[in-house]
Amino acid sequence: MMGFFRQVGVVAAKDLRAELRTKEAINSSLAFALVILLMFSFAFDPLADTTREIAGGLLWIVFAFAGTLVLNRSFARELPNDCLDGLIAAPVSRAALFLGKACASFLLVLGVQLVSLPVFGIFYNVPWTRQFPELFLVLVLGTWGLTVVGTISSALTVNIRLRELMLPMLTYPILFPALLGAMQLTAILVAGNPIGPGDFGWLKMMVGFDVIYTAVSLALVETILVS
């Protein structure tokens, strides 16, 4: 069991190192997040009270779009020089390979979110810092759901035409329960209100979604990653 987590750590560290050297996914993702945040301000009055009510939804649309840019690169990064075949042939279990890549993408997407959150707060005058610990928990749960489903989609679409288009098309409908929960909770938290007992259901839904899809992905990834 220790060996498994070491393998996960090695794969995640490799992906993070490769990404931090080139910064190709994280730069484009950050730039894209900022562009969408700017575009929203054209669509409606950024300082109106109604905008603050839908702030949670807006924020997660930005995160979902920017996240797919990172996730697209997760397996596509291994295509040049047939690195993917090398990784599959390497003496690490495929579940560890998948989990390592998911962890690396998770940290990258979370990084993009933590940079765009203050920008969002300033642009739209949203008091997001008041409930930050709870908000961070929602970010972690939502992002893990996004990365786990996104990493599997990235593995499925790595060799097909229109890869960049297919990944979001596959990912967003599956993510409906997790994204809707994240949007509802984030809308409450960025308005500066605490999560009430009536909203724990959403939190449970997000935890359940993450657990189910992590378990199923780990069980089925052996059939996807074949050389």
Per CB under 8 A, does 211 bind another protein?
A: no
Q: Is 36 exposed, middle or buried (0-12, 13-18, 19+ CB in 10 A)?
A: middle
Q: Among residues 50 and 227, whose Cβ is nearest to another protein?
A: 227
Q: Among residues 105 and 184, whose Cβ is nearest to another protein?
A: 184
Per CB under 8 A, does 60 bind another protein?
A: no
Among 3, 86, 118, 208, contact with another protein (rule: CB under 8 A) = 208
Distance of closest approach, residue 165 Cβ to another protein, in angstroms: 10
Asked if 158 and 165 touch (Cβ cutoff 8 Å), the reply is no
Q: Among residues 112 and 141, whose Cβ is nearest to another protein?
A: 141
Among 25, 37, 213, 214, contact with another protein (rule: CB under 8 A) = 213
Angle between helices 163-174 and 55-76 (to 10 degrees): 130
Per CB under 8 A, does 57 bind another protein?
A: no
Per CB under 8 A, does 197 bind another protein?
A: no
- Judged by CB under 8 A, the chain residues 138 through 177 that form the site for another protein are 149, 152, 156-157, 159-162, 166, 169-170, 173-174, 176-177
Q: Which stretch binds another protein (CB under 8 A): 34-42, 79-87, 125-133, 212-220?
A: 212-220
How far is residue 8's CA from residue 105's CA, in Å, rounded to a whole number? 13
Q: Is 10 exposed, middle or buried (0-12, 13-18, 19+ CB in 10 A)?
A: middle
Q: Among residues 106 and 202, whose Cβ is nearest to another protein?
A: 202
Instruction: Provide the 10 A C-beta neighbour count for residue 173.
Output: 9
How far is residue 41's CA from residue 23's CA, in Å, rounded to a whole number? 28
- Tell me the three state secondary structure of residue 158: coil
Q: Among residues 43 and 226, whose Cβ is nearest to another protein?
A: 226
The amino acid present at 106, given as its one-letter code, is: F
Q: Among residues 1 and 226, whose Cβ is nearest to another protein?
A: 226
DSSP tag of 175:
T
Per CB under 8 A, does 224 bind another protein?
A: yes
How far is residue 97's CA from residue 104's CA, in Å, rounded to a whole number? 11
Instruction: Provide the 10 A C-beta neighbour count for residue 134.
Output: 17
Among 26, 126, 202, 203, contact with another protein (rule: CB under 8 A) = 202
How far is residue 144's CA from residue 59's CA, in Å, rounded to a whole number? 16
Positions in the binding site for another protein (CB under 8 A): 149, 152, 156-157, 159-162, 166, 169-170, 173-174, 176-177, 180-181, 184, 201-202, 205, 208-209, 212-213, 216, 220, 223-224, 226
